[in-house]
Every structure is written in structure tokens, then in C-alpha cells.
């Protein structure tokens, strides 16, 4: 044994050794940890904050309230994920929403109500907007089906492929044109096909345009924004419906953490990892800010690529081509997120009085702008200025879950776009507060007494998300939903979803396919790719993906 090997062995003896260490206890990191723990691996999850869940966590921000800073609703889960994690049998209670959203597009506009019941939704669109709008909505959903299949947002244990290859392999020229439009065209190129009348179809056009830009740094007329629209419209059967989690969305991560611990794994909070230790291009350990080291056969990062390679691995030099790929990913957090504690439920303005008679209509939705104004807001943001009007997504979750606030109180939350996130840093604090006031003004257009019922509030910009969650430029998507960084182009090693240029180092977060959203797929898929890599041994990385489906075990095989 040479001196270097002796030194490493001695260091390992003084520290703790695991099969796998996961940096970051967000929902994907915990998903990776639980799959590996169920398959007999000794797992350690390290989290710098004092709670699990990351941007899918729940904690007290406003006094005596349970707040979500980040994700707030559970959207589609793939059938395999739903079966494997089986949250409800582990104590998680899901709350169905009879009205998933009410979208509002101006003081005189008709509310667009998204009922859970598809027949009720269809009848309401027909009655409120006419047969042309109803037909357009059906045709839009049909248009989205084919590119959504190519996007493959809900398939587990499958390595993604590059967009250009998928387009080139389309069977007909018509299909190729379809995919080119869906993935490279603007959102309005698509929307105009199905809702061409800016007056008759105003509310539908505005709602679809807003859906297309929330996870991008684009306007609805900007090429490439169609990708996000397809991503949003992609669903997997009835599980494509929005639900709330009783007690807050962080209950999902709490559930995973508890199972990891029950299986003998560890989840340690307030443990800030300063860097990942690499020897001979092999990840071997993590070192905490305190200097303590933990060694493992596999290291997994739940951070985005730039936070991982330019932060935790800043002292390790990648090959030039690999570093260029990491740096090419676009990260901008062009939003503010506001939380409110309310002394009562706000009321809709008189022109929306019919909503008072619809159970669940106070839950939330979006307050949107006409597409042309939404585009202007984006272009204003690019200049480092505040938009005149702030489009926003809005919720009062205590309408369906009163456990989140003290008796007699409500909580509300809102995401406002487009915050000028690239303005000079010394100006962003002032701009953030000004944008918060604009956001409240917009809410008051529909709920005139909203400002009066606020008893406490908090505001977070992308700068806060960067410091709280360690995401590059506050980008909650871990890489915006732009065509050049989705599907296989979201990966670092062709033919794999989570493997990196550093041996034994994997990525498991939303920076991997299929991207953001509380789907658990990046974490679940990462664990299976790790197990496939261990089976594959020293085989070339491109061949690992073909073994992914052979290493899975169902949840019933791991009952405690």
C-alpha cells in the first residue's frame, strides 16, 4: 500500500463511510435516497437548512402559519411514481380541488374557471366563451398530445434523447413541422392557431400565454416559448389534475425522510457541504463547512449544474467541453414571491360576484395580461425596469386547508412576473419592494379589500432563492424550459440522464430530465441509474442507460 492510499484509508477511518451521500434534502434528493435505502444501500442525506423539502418544503415564515416558499400544489405524478412512493398509505392526505384555478384577465373580462370535472369545465367554456372557444380548446389539447409524447415528461427509468434527433426521426414531414412549431416556435404561434380572435378569445389567449412563460426567460411572442406551453399542457391521464397536500407540500418530503430513517439511513439537517472531494477524477467524499468529511462510493448532488460544478467542485477542473456545457445553461429568476397572513377572507369585486356561489372559487388561480402586454412586460424586464402591470399566480390555500393558519386567519401567496433580475444588485432590493406593491395593486383589482385584510407579509426575490436554496441566480427550474436545454440536452453525458464527467458523481435534481415540478422523477430515475451503473461496472457510460429498467424493484419488495 503506497503512502497516498494509506493516508486516504486513515482519513476514512477517522470519518464516516456510506454507500451513497446525497447533497440536498429537496424532494428529489430524498426520492433518490429512499429508492437506494429500499434496495439495501447505506444512505446519508445532508441538508444545509433546518427543514427538508427545499423549494418543496413547508415551514413557519409568518407567525403561527405554515408557509410554502416555492412549490405549493401537487401536479401530475406518473403512474409508476404514484405506485412506488404510495404517499397516502404513509400518512399523506391529498385534497382534491373542485375548482383548480380561476384565471382573471382584466376588470371587465370574464373569469376562466378550471373545474376538476372535465364535463363541467367544457360546459363552462362553451357557455362563457362560445362554441368557437370550446372547439379551440379541444383542438389545442389534441395539438399538444404528440409533442407531449416526444417530450416524455412522465416516463420513469428512461434516458432522454436530444431534441434535434427526436425531431429528425419524425415519420412524416407534417410531424416534423408539428414538432418544430411546438418546440421552437413562440407560444403565440400556437395559441393564434386555436384562439385567433383577440376579443372573443381574450381570456383564453391571456391564460395560455401566461402558462407558457412562467418557467422561461421569454415573452409569449419570443421563439422557443412554445416549449413551456407544451410542458404545462402535458398530462398523464386523470393524475394530471392539481391537488393540495394537507399541512403543506412539505409533508411529501417529510414522508420520504421518515422512511429513509426507518430503513436505517440518515437525514442530517443544518449540515452545509462546502465541497465535494475528488481524487483521480473520482468523487470520494464531501466536506462540511466545519471541515468534517464523509466518504461514500457514490456522491449525488441535488443542486443545479452550475451550483454543483462551479460551487461544490470549484477546485476541480473539468475538460473544456464539459465546462462549456455546464456554463451554457441559462438561469434567471425573473419573479418575486409574496406570502401574506390575512385577518379574513378577501372578497371579489362586484363584477365577479358570481364566483361567490361557486365552491372553491376563492382558492386561487392567475391574474394575467393580454399577450401583447405580457410581451412588453418581458421586454421591460430585459431593460432592468419594472413592468407597468405584474401578471401573477395566486392562492389562498386555507380555503381548502385551514390547518395552515390560526383560527380566524387565512394565508395567501403570489408569484409575480417579470422581475428585472439582471438589474444592478444594489438596485434590486428597492425594485423588489416596488414590485411587491404593484403585485398587491393587481390583486386589489379583483379583490378590492385585499390590502385591508393583510396583517403580515414577506417578499422573496430570486436573490433570496439563491441564498436560501443554493440555486443559481435564484432559478427555481434549475435550468429554464428553453428548447436548447430540455430532454436529452438537459444531460451532461449522452445516453444517460444523471451521470456526470466525474466518476461516481451523479445529479438528481430538477436540472435533470424531465425538469422542474414536484414529480419526483429526477430523483427516482437517478437512483435507478446509479444501481444500473453499479451493475454495469466499468462499461462505457453510454451503455448504462440500457440497463436502467433491469434494476428496479417494486415497492412491495421493500415493506418494512
Which pLDDT score is estimated for 548? Answer: 44
- Domain made up of 3-59+77-91+247-329+478-558: CATH architecture: 3-Layer(bba) Sandwich (3.50)
CA count, 13 A, side-chain hemisphere, 356: 11
Q: Is the pLDDT of residue 3 over 60?
A: no
Over residues 107-117, the mean pLDDT reads 92
Other CB atoms within 10 Å distance of the CB of residue 464: 17
Q: What is the pLDDT of residues 371-412, one digit of tens each?
A: 999 999 999 999 999 999 999 999 999 999 999 999 999 999
Q: What is the pLDDT of residues 30-49, one digit of tens each?
A: 999 999 999 999 999 999 99
For 60-112, give the secondary structure using H, E and C: CCCCCCCECCCCCCECCCCHHHHHHHCHHHHCCCEEECCEEEEEECCCCCCCE
Fold of 98-129+332-470: Polyamine Oxidase; Chain A, domain 2 (3.90.660)
Residues 6+ apart with CB under 8 A from 530: 20, 32, 36, 298, 300, 498, 506
Q: What is the pLDDT of residues 497-516, one digit of tens each?
A: 999 999 999 999 999 999 99
Pairing of strands 43-46, 266-268: parallel
C-alpha cell at 5: 492510499
- Tell me the average pLDDT of the chain: 91
Which region, left, alpha or beta, applies to residue 259 given φ > 0 means left and ψ of -120 to 50 means alpha? alpha
Instruction: Name which of 365, 417, 366 is nearest 388 in CA terms.
Output: 417
Q: How far is CA 540 from CA 127, 323, 518, in A?
A: 59, 21, 31
Domain residue ranges of the chain, discontinuous segments joined by +: 3-59+77-91+247-329+478-558, 98-129+332-470, 136-241
Confidence of residue 359 (pLDDT cuts 50, 70, 90): confident
Which pLDDT score is estimated for 296? Answer: 97
Q: What is the pLDDT of residues 113-167, one digit of tens each?
A: 999 998 999 999 999 999 999 999 999 999 999 999 999 989 899 989 999 999 9
Confidence of residue 234 (pLDDT cuts 50, 70, 90): confident
Over residues 527-534, the mean pLDDT reads 93
Over residues 440-445, the mean pLDDT reads 97
Over residues 454-468, the mean pLDDT reads 96
C-alpha cell at 166: 427526436
Amino acid at each position: 500500500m503506497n503512502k497516498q492510499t494509506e493516508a486516504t484509508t486513515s482519513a476514512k477511518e477517522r470519518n464516516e463511510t456510506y454507500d451513497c451521500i446525497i447533497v440536498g434534502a429537496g424532494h428529489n434528493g430524498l426520492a433518490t435516497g429512499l429508492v437506494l435505502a429500499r434496495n439495501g444501500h447505506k444512505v446519508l442525506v445532508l441538508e444545509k437548512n433546518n427543514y427538508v423539502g427545499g423549494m418543496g418544503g413547508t415551514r413557519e415564515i409568518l407567525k403561527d402559519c405554515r408557509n410554502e416558499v416555492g412549490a405549493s400544489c401537487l401536479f401530475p405524478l406518473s403512474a409508476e411514481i404514484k405506485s412506488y412512493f404510495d404517499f397516502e398509505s404513509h400518512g399523506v392526505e391529498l385534497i382534491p380541488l373542485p375548482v383548480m384555478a380561476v384565471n382573471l384577465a382584466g376588470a371587465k373580462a370574464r373569469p376562466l374557471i378550471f373545474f376538476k370535472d372535465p364535463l363541467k369545465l367544457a360546459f363552462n367554456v362553451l357557455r362563457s366563451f362560445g362554441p368557437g372557444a370550446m372547439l379551440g380548446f379541444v383542438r389545442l389539447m389534441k395539438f399538444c398530445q404528440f409533442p407531449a409524447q416526444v417530450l416524455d415528461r412522465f416516463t420513469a427509468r428512461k434516458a432522454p434523447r436530444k431534441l434535434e434527433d427526436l425531431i429528425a426521426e419524425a415519420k412524416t414531414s407534417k410531424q416534423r413541422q408539428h414538432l418544430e412549431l411546438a418546440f421552437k416556435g413562440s407560444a403565440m404561434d400556437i395559441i393564434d392557431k386555436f384562439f385567433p380572435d383577440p376579443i372573443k378569445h381574450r381570456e383564453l389567449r391571456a391564460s395560455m400565454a401566461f402558462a407558457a412563460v412562467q418557467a422561461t426567460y421569454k415573452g409569449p411572442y419570443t421563439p422557443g416559448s412554445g416549449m413551456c406551453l407544451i410542458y404545462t399542457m402535458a398530462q398523464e391521464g386523470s393524475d394530471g389534475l392539481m391537488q393540495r397536500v394537507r399541512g403543506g407540500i412539505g409533508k411529501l418530503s417529510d414522508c420520504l425522510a421518515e422512511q429513509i430513517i426507518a430503513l436505517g439511513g440518515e437525514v442530517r439537517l443544518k449540515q452545509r457541504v462546502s465541497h465535494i472531494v475528488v481524487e483521480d477524477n473520482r468523487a470520494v467524499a464531501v466536506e462540511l463547512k466545519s471541515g468534517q468529511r464523509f466518504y461514500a462510493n457514490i456522491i449525488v448532488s441535488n443542486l443545479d449544474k452550475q451550483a454543483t460544478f462551479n460551487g461544490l467542485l470549484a477546485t476541480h477542473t473539468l475538460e473544456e467541453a464539459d465546462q462549456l456545457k455546464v456554463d451554457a445553461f441559462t438561469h434567471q429568476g425573473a419573479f418575486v414571491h409574496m406570502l401574506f397572513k390575512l385577518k379574513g377572507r378577501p372578497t371579489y369585486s362586484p363584477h365577479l360576484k358570481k364566483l361567490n356561489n361557486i365552491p372553491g372559487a376563492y382558492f386561487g388561480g392567475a391574474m394575467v395580461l393580454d399577450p401583447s402586454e405580457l410581451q412588453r412586460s418581458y421586454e421591460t424586464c430585459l431593460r432592468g425596469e419594472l413592468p407597468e402591470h405584474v401578471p401573477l399566480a395566486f392562492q389562498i390555500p386555507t380555503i381548502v386547508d385551514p390547518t395552515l393558519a390560526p383560527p380566524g386567519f387565512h394565508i395567501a401567496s403570489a408569484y409575480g412576473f417579470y422581475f428585472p433580475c439582471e438589474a444592478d444588485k444594489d438596485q434590486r432590493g428597492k425594485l423588489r419592494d416596488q414590485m411587491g406593491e404593484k403585485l398587491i395593486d393587481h390583486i386589489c383589482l379583483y379583490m378590492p379589500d385585499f390590502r385591508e385584510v393583510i396583517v403580515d407579509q414577506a417578499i422573496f426575490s430570486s436573490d433570496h432563492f439563491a441564498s436560501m436554496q443554493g440555486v443559481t441566480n435564484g432559478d427555481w427550474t434549475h435550468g429554464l424550459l428553453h428548447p436548447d436545454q430540455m430532454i436529452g440536452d438537459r444531460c451532461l453525458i449522452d445516453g444517460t440522464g444523471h451521470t456526470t464527467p466525474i466518476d461516481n458523481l451523479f445529479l438528481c435534481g430538477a436540472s435533470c430530465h424531465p425538469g422542474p415540478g414536484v414529480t419526483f422523477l429526477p430523483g427516482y430515475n437517478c437512483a435507478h441509474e446509479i444501481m444500473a451503473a453499479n451493475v454495469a461496472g466499468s462499461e462505457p457510460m453510454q451503455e448504462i442507460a440500457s440497463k436502467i429498467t433491469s434494476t428496479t424493484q417494486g415497492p412491495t419488495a421493500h415493506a418494512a
